[in-house]
Amino acid sequence: MNLGFFTMPLHRPEKPWARALAEDREAIILADRLGYSEAWVGEHFSTKAEQIPSPLMFLASLVDATEHIRLGTGVVNLPHHHPVVVAAEAALFDQLSGGRLLLGVGPGGLMSDGELFGHQDMVERYGIAMESLDIILQIWRQDAPLNIQGQHWNIAMEREIWPHAGVGCFPKPLQQPHPPIAMAMIGPGGPTSEFIAERDYIPISANFVPVENIEGQQRVYAEACTRLGKPVDFGVWRVCRSILVTDSDSRAEELCQDPDGGLAFYFRYLRGVRRIAELRELENPSPTELNEFLEVQQAMDECVISGSVNTVTDRLIALVDRLGPFGTLVAAGHDWEETDLWQTSMRLLATDVMPVVRQHAGTVCA
């Protein structure tokens, strides 16, 4: 079982952008030094709290600052981009990074981004994303002449071609036939799990959903694999969780009970952006009132694994026993309001917790 890292990122909106970006870079550099296998970075255009509009550009700043860690987009929201641009930029990044790209793609989950780009309906965005992905793969497979007439995209290059001089040759990634493609899941299964199974993509279970949803995702994925005559291999599965390792259980409880602490803010924000219309009707609510309205404590109880080394180890072992062994545990990055707190947590997770969890997962597999 590998250990990965994912950051949306999510910071207090009042934090200076340059400082937030510096902290996000420091977190991934630290993850590389601690032996984390991969780091995923999100993409958003219309929120100060999650302000990385180009994960590929951000991750490119880390190619020479890291040595081994694979760098993933978590995710590129395909309806917000022209597929030719995504294909070219992803291929360029894969070449620059020596083949370290993990390409996470999706329809875009932030409603404000959907409004900004004119695609507010999730079903529509999903259809655009799937068509865009097929175009990207086709561009990586072939060069001009090209003529794609789709429902959402029409792309052609049939006349201005000069192969001898390279004109009409599209950028290709270093990894062949293409970099690993991943898709994140929130709900308990459904068409995304089936699509991932059909295409042999990487499934990623989000860190802000209850374990019941992950069980549903795995069940639908396994059923789809069986129907297609494919082996069910959970070795490709990424399970994301918010994990905080502290020096004592009491310290972890104190941090989790703080109504305006970093973890409470994280889940308050995530739940709030999906209910903006309702929040507008509230009159200057306090963090505590917002937490109650948005059921933040319930979300933290379901999704946060925190405590001492022993407690976190026990809880992760229980997670493995419940889900069965899976390929990569992905720890979510949180705002470094207390830098030492989160740096220590990342280190303890890598050096003290994961060796025991891996050993247990190995015995389960055996």
Q: What is the pLDDT of residues 5-26, one digit of tens each?
A: 999 999 999 999 999 999 999 9
**Angstrom distance (rounded) from CA 357 to CA 260:** 31
Q: What is the DSSP string of 295-312?
A: THHHHHHHHEEEESHHHH
Q: What is the pLDDT of residues 194-214, one digit of tens each?
A: 999 999 999 999 999 999 999
Looking at residue 366, its pLDDT comes to 63
**pLDDT for residue 365 is more than 70:** yes
Closest CA to 41 of 26, 18, 64, 58: 58
**pLDDT for residue 158 is more than 90:** yes
**Angstrom distance (rounded) from CA 310 to CA 353:** 8
Domains (range + CATH), the chain? 2-142+172-242+304-365 (3.20.20.30)
Q: Are 152 and 129 in contact (CB under 8 A)?
A: no
Residues 6+ apart with CB under 8 A from 175: 94, 99, 101
**Angstrom distance (rounded) from CA 37 to CA 327:** 11
**Angstrom distance (rounded) from CA 264 to CA 291:** 8
Q: What is the DSSP string of 86-146?
A: HHHHHHHHHHHTTS-EEEEEES---HHHHHHTT---HHHHHHHHHHHHHHHHHHHH--SSE
Determine the average pLDDT of the residues in 129-144: 98
- The one-letter amino acid code at 164 reads H
CA angle 17, 85, 37 (to 5 degrees): 60
Listed range (16-20, 259-263, 335-339, 353-357) with the worst mean pLDDT: 335-339
DSSP state of 10: -
Q: What is the pLDDT of residues 234-251, one digit of tens each?
A: 999 999 999 999 999 999
Q: What is the pLDDT of residues 307-319, one digit of tens each?
A: 999 999 999 999 9
**Is the pTM here over 0.85, yes or no?**
yes
